[in-house]
Every structure is written in structure tokens, then in C-alpha cells.
Amino acid sequence: MATHNDLGKQGEGLAAQFLTKNGYEILDENWVYGKAEIDIIAYLNKKIIFVEVKTRTSVNFGLPEDFVSEAKQKQMELAANEYIEIMNHQGEVRFDIISVLLDKQNNYTINHIQDAFWPS
């Protein structure tokens, strides 16, 4: 597996741990619908939260959350709509971003951006 894939998986694991420690229930990880993937689907207070995780080792080219493109948001919306239908969820939903910054000593910083976007 490529190094960037390993980095992404590590970041997703840290994000899932972070959410769990903060009372979220993890419903699914790496949920795929067509070409769209949602890194983490969590549940809190009767709300389904669709989470995109971005992991970087530096901010030389921008913050990790800056790399959630409009195209990615639209793909997440497609997948989220399918998930909501399959689960017959009648409550609220939210789209979050969790950015993870890792250094060479495996120290990390997590930034959880709630309600980061709403796909149009």
C-alpha cells in the first residue's frame, strides 16, 4: 500500500478513536456507494454524522480541511442520501470534517469541524 494510503488509514483510526471518546457511536467506516466513499459514519443525539477525514504531515500546502473539494462534498452527499434511505433514518444529519496533523514522532493534532459543509 502506498505511504499516503497508510497515512490516511492512520488518520481515520485516530479520528474514529476521537469520536468514540467523545460519545459518538461509529456506525460504519469506509462506506462505499458507487464511486463515493464516506470515511466515517457516526451517530450522536439521534443525528447521523457523515465525516470526511483528511490527514497531513505538514501544512506547507494548506490545512488538511482545505482539501475537501466541492466534488468530494457532492460525492459524499450522494452516498449519504443512499445511506439515509437504506437505514430509513428520519432524523437530522450533519457533514463534518476531521483534520489530523501528524508529525514524524507520531504526535498528532485533531481538529473536528462540526457542520463543516452542506452539499448543494
Number of domains in the chain: 1
C-beta of residue 27 within 8 angstroms of C-beta of residue 83: no
In a domain, 119, yes or no: no
- Per the domain annotation, does 120 fall within a domain? no
Which CATH number belongs to the domain containing residue 26 in this structure? 3.40.1350.10
Q: What pLDDT does 61 receive?
A: 87
Q: Is residue 45 part of a domain?
A: yes
Indicate whether 40 belongs to any domain.
yes
Q: Would you say residue 118 lies in a domain? A: no
The answer to whether position 35 is within a domain reads yes
pLDDT of residue 55: 94
pLDDT in the model for residue 97: 97
pLDDT digit string (tens) for 42-81?
Answer: 999 999 999 999 999 988 888 889 899 999 999 999 999 9
Residue 73 is predicted with a pLDDT of: 93
Q: What is the pLDDT of residue 8?
A: 87
In a domain, 58, yes or no: yes
**What range does the domain containing 13 cover?**
3-113
Mean pLDDT of the chain: 92
Alpha carbons within 13 A on the beta-carbon side of 66 = 8
Q: What is the pTM of this model?
A: 0.92
Is residue 43 one of the residues assigned to a domain?
yes
